[in-house]
Amino acid sequence: MRPLPVEWLMRLLLAMCLAASAPAHALTPADALALVDGDTDARIDTLNRLAAEPDDKASALIKAMSGEAVRVQGERVLLVDGDGAIDAVTGEKLATLPEDASDVMINNRLRSAMETALAGMELLGAPPERQREAARTLQRTAFEEPDISQLPLIDKALAGQLDAQARQTLELAQAAVRLASEDPAQRLAAAQKLGEASQPIVRPLLLQQIEKETDVGVKAALGASLRGIDRTLAIGSALAQAFTGISLGSILLLAALGLAITYGLMGVINMAHGELIMIGAYATWLVQSFFRTSLPEYFDWYLLVAMPVAFLASGLVGAAMERTVIRFLYGRPLETLLATWGISLVLMQAVRSLFGAQNVGVENPSWMSGGVTLLGNLNLPWNRIIIIGFALAVLLGVTLMIGKTRLGLFVRGVTQNRPIASCMGVNTARIDTYAFALGSGIAGLAGCALSQIGNVGPDLGQNYIVDSFMVVVLGGVGQLAGTVYAALGLGLLNKFIEGWAGAVLAKIAVLVFIIVFIQKRPQGIFAMKGREA
Please tell me the least confidently modeled range out of 43-52, 83-92, 434-443, 476-485: 476-485
Measured CA to CA, the distance from residue 70 to residue 427 in angstroms comes to 86
Q: Is the CB of residue 362 less than 8 Å from the CB of residue 452?
A: yes
Strand order in the sheet with 93-94: 93-94, 84-87, 76-81, 70-73, 102-103
Q: Is the pLDDT of residue 28 over 50?
A: yes
Measured CA to CA, the distance from residue 246 to residue 387 in angstroms comes to 10
pLDDT band, very low/low/confident/very high, at 75 (cuts 50, 70, 90): confident
Hey, which of 145-154, 254-263, 476-485 has the most confident mean pLDDT?
A: 254-263
Average pLDDT taken over every residue of the chain: 82
Q: Is the CB of residue 147 less than 8 Å from the CB of residue 205?
A: no
Q: Is the pLDDT of residue 316 over 90?
A: yes
Q: Is the pLDDT of residue 305 over 90?
A: yes
Measured CA to CA, the distance from residue 491 to residue 483 in angstroms comes to 12
Q: Is the dihedral of CA 209, 210, 211, 217 positive or negative?
A: positive
Measured in whole angstroms, how far is the alpha carbon of residue 45 from the centre of its chain? 37
Measured CA to CA, the distance from residue 76 to residue 101 in angstroms comes to 9
pLDDT band, very low/low/confident/very high, at 265 (cuts 50, 70, 90): low
Look at residue 287 in the predicted model and tell me its pLDDT.
94
Measured CA to CA, the distance from residue 70 to residue 78 in angstroms comes to 6
For residue 499, the one-letter residue type is G
Other beta carbons within 10 Å of 56: 11
Q: Is the CB of residue 109 less than 8 Å from the CB of residue 53?
A: no
Q: Is the CB of residue 53 less than 8 Å from the CB of residue 81?
A: no
The pLDDT tens digits of the residues spanning 338-380 come to 999 999 999 999 999 998 888 888 888 888 888 887 776 778 8
The pLDDT tens digits of the residues spanning 236-257 come to 888 888 888 888 888 888 888 8
Per-domain residue ranges for the chain? 30-68+104-214, 251-463
Classify residue 260 by its DSSP letter. Answer: I
For residue 327, the one-letter residue type is R
Measured CA to CA, the distance from residue 60 to residue 83 in angstroms comes to 18
Start-to-end C-alpha separation, the chain: 120
Q: Is the pLDDT of residue 210 over 80?
A: yes
Other beta carbons within 10 Å of 416: 15
Measured CA to CA, the distance from residue 299 to residue 199 in angstroms comes to 36
Measured CA to CA, the distance from residue 42 to residue 198 in angstroms comes to 34
**3-state DSSP assignment of residue 90:** coil
Q: Is the CB of residue 131 less than 8 Å from the CB of residue 163?
A: yes
**3-state DSSP assignment of residue 342:** helix
Hey, which of 21-25, 72-76, 257-261, 355-359 has the most confident mean pLDDT?
A: 355-359
Q: Which long-range contacts (CB under 8 A, 24 or more apart) does 35-43 make?
A: 35/61, 35/62, 35/65, 35/77, 36/65, 36/70, 36/72, 36/77, 36/104, 37/72, 37/104, 37/105, 40/107, 40/109, 40/110, 43/110
80, β-bridge pairs: 85
The predicted model gives 425-436 an average pLDDT of 86
The predicted model gives 267-292 an average pLDDT of 90
Q: Is the pLDDT of residue 19 over 80?
A: no
DSSP readout, 172-196? HHHHHHHTT-S-HHHHHHHHHHHHH
Burial class (CB in 10 A: 0-12, 13-18, 19+), 454: middle
Measured CA to CA, the distance from residue 23 to residue 57 in angstroms comes to 10
Nearest in space to 501 (alpha carbons), one of 241, 240, 251, 249: 241
Q: Is the pLDDT of residue 386 over 70?
A: yes
For 3-29, give one letter per residue: b (16+ CB within 10 A) or e.
Answer: eeeeeeeeeeeeeeeeeeeeeeeebee
**Rg of the Cα atoms in the chain:** 34
